[in-house]
Every structure is written in C-alpha cells, then in structure tokens.
Amino acid sequence: MTPLFRFGIVALALVLVAGSGGYWLGKRAGRDGPAASAVAEVQLQTPAPAAAAARPAVAPDSCARPGPGPVQLLLCMRDSVRNGNIPALIEVLGPALASVEAGRVPLASLADVLAEANHLPLDFLFHYIEAEIDPRKIELASQLLQQLLQRRTSAQMGATDIEWLIDNVNRLLWLTPNQIRLNLWLANLYLQQGQFDEARYHALIAVDAPEYREAAGKILQKLALGSKPSSDVDLQVVGNQYFIAARIDGAPARLLLDTGASISGVTRAFIEHHGIDTGPTEVVQLNTAGGVREARSFQVKRLAFGQLVFAEQPMVIFMDAQFETFDGVLGLDVLRQADFYIDEKAAKLRIF
C-alpha cells in the first residue's frame, strides 16, 4: 500500500467521524434544545413583540406526534391557535381539560396559550361548551373562557368595550345558567354602564348566594342611593329568619320570607280558621327538604303587604304542615314580580 493511498483512507475516516458526530450533536440539539425552549415558552405570559421574533421554530405537526403529554398538549394548542386551526383546537381541548382536572396542566397555562390569538378562541370555546356533554369539562371550559374575558377587562375600557364584554358574559350565562358569579359580574358591568334595571336584576339573583351576598348587597346599596324605593315593608327578624305581615283575602297572615321557595302557600289550619273560600282546588306534589309533600293549589283573590297588592295570585295549601309561629310562606313566585332587596340591617323589605 503506497503512502498516498494510506493518507487517503485516513482522511476519509476522519470525514466520516466528523460527519457522524455533527449528525448526532445536531439530532440531540433538535431533541433537547427546541423542546426545552417550548416548555419555557408555554409557561410564560404572552411575550413582548421583541421576544416573539426570537422564538425557535416549532414543528407544524405538534398535534400529530404520538403520546402527547401535558407540554405537548400546550404546544399543539399554541400551534393550532397560531394557524387558526379551529378543528385541531376543538380536538385537543378535551384532553387538555382532562389534564387540567388531573392537575397536570394549570388552567392559567391554557389561558396563556389561547390569549395569543386575541379574539380567535372565544367563539371556538363557546361552540365547545355547546357541544360538550361532560359537566366537569363544561365547567373548566367556562372558567377558561372567563379568564380570557377577564384578561381584556381594564379600568380604561370604553363603553363599546364594556358592551362587548356584557354580550359575551351574557352568552356564557345563557350556556351555563347556574353560575351565579356571572350574574355578579354582569351586575357590576351594567352598573358601570348606568343600566340600573339590568344591574339590579343580576344583583338580586347574586344576593341569594351566600358567597356573593356581601358583594351583591353593596351593588344594591349603590343602586338604592340613586333610586328611592317605592315601598318599604317592615320585617320581623327571629334568628336568621324574616317574617312579613300580609293580608290574604282580608285575613291577617304572618308569612315566612323564603327566597328559596318557588311557590307561596299557607297552612290548611289558616284557611279553616279564617273561613277563606278557596274555590276549586287541585292536588299538586311539592318537593321539599323533607321529601315529597301533597298540597292543593288555589287562587287568592287579594294578597297584600306594604303598598303591594296581588290579585288572583296562585298559592298552595300545605295540607299536613303545622307551623307553630307563622301561617305560611312567601316565596319567589310573588317576590319576583317586583324588584326587591332585603335590607338586613334595617330589617326591611325594600321594593323598587
């Protein structure tokens, strides 16, 4: 073997070794470097424009890689948002919310990813809530949507922005009607807009929930300063219960004020004692805390308390109820016919 031939073999071996080393180094950098950068990125708030220009490129098939973990779900959502890929977003949101429920992904991280697309995810989240049947995922998607809406709330919002926010919160409340915190939010927004009737309506719903009673009460107090109640009715307070003096077809009645009752009624003993003509009655079944109870429905010719008078008001007769200190219950079926506020400190039912 000539010296020149030996030199050629050695040179070729060095080239192969260098190329192989460069390939494996490059492969490792591609595996560890971009992934580490992506993990850091999805955990941050929406970056400034200058930082966005320096982002490493992310493979477009992040939603198609096998076995997506929590980080991969976030990357897939981020890429789908950037590409406006709504079908991919809808497909990946279910697993992402399942990861939230399992504690693997913070809800705020999903909100960070979706916030990059500005208004894009809102309609998609609304459609997802409409289509989803899992109550827990609906709740999580609703919380995610609320976070995105709250991100766009600021003290500098103009009237048009607030109207846009009101429309979206109302839309969410229509889809998830039992979220009382949305009523409280709307009460505040309507109060800012000077739409006092709407603010009072939502505050009156929120004030019945113990966790929102204080905040909703403050809104109602602000509203009361700007409008004089049309009627104040004295309440008698016994413990944590409120009683109101009423007249039923002229007979004096002491009624328990119960905003949790969907229908008002009196005992059979009250009807018999005062000889009230109930006319034809119908048997109805009432779901109570003590189980199903039988009652009879009838119409009161005249129910009055304070300055309010209700003619031909439907009520029920509690057939087996025996209330020792009161004659019946005044529920929301009557109260919701007017705007009202229970002023606990003054012990008054304020009618607006």
pLDDT score for 267: 94
**Position 22 pLDDT exceeds 80:** no
Asked whether the predicted pLDDT for residue 151 surpasses 70, the reply is yes
What tokens were used for 225? 């300063």
Q: Tell me, what's the pLDDT at 272? A: 94
Q: What is the CATH architecture assignment of 159-226?
A: Alpha Horseshoe (1.25)
Question: How far is the C-alpha of 106 from the C-alpha of 62, rounded, in Å?
Answer: 20
pLDDT average, residue stretch 152-181: 80
* Closest CA relative to residue 230, chosen from 336, 334, 352, 340: 352
Give pTM, 2 decimals. Answer: 0.45
Q: Which amino acid is at 191?
A: L
Task: Identify the CATH homologous superfamily for domain 231-351.
Answer: Acid Proteases (2.40.70.10)
> Tokens 């709504």 belong to which residue?
86
Q: What is the average pLDDT across 234-262? A: 92
Task: Count the residues in the chain.
Answer: 352
Q: What confidence tens digit (pLDDT) does each residue in 260-296 have? A: 788 899 999 999 999 999 998 999 888 766 667 889 9
> pLDDT averaged over the chain?
75
Sequence-separated (6 or more) residues with CB below 8 Å from residue 124? 86, 89, 90
Q: Residue 106 above 90 pLDDT? A: no
Q: Where are the domains of the chain?
A: 70-151, 159-226, 231-351
| End-to-end Cα, the chain, rounded Å | 110
Q: Given a cut of 90, is residue 250 above it in pLDDT?
A: yes
Residue 304 DSSP SS3 = strand
Burial class (CB in 10 A: 0-12, 13-18, 19+), 325: exposed
Instruction: Determine the pLDDT at residue 305.
Output: 92
Q: Is the separation of the CB atoms in 73 and 105 below 8 Å? A: yes
**CA-based nearest residue to 286, from 296, 278, 300, 271:** 296
Q: For the residues 180-204, what does the mean pLDDT come to?
A: 88
Which pair of structure tokens corresponds to residue 66?
A: 């096998």
Separation of alpha carbons 344 and 172, rounded Å: 31
Query: What one-character DSSP code corresponds to residue 103?
Result: T
Instruction: State the Cα–Cα distance between residues 52 and 46, nearest whole angstrom.
Output: 9
- Structural tokens at position 56: 């490493």
Tokens 């949305």 identify what position?
Answer: 182
Looking at per-residue pLDDT, the higher value among 24 and 226 belongs to: 226
For 107-123, what is each residue's pLDDT tens digit? 877 777 777 666 566 77
* Mean pLDDT value of segment 17-27: 38
For residue range 133-149, list pLDDT tens digits in order: 888 888 888 888 888 88
Q: Supply the pLDDT for residue 60.
A: 46
- For residue 158, what pLDDT is reported? 66
Give the model's confidence band at 33: pLDDT under 50 very low, under 70 low, under 90 confident, else very high. Answer: very low
DSSP state of 211: G
Range list of H helices, the chain: 3-42, 49-53, 70-83, 86-101, 107-115, 120-131, 135-151, 159-175, 180-193, 196-206, 213-226, 268-274, 332-335
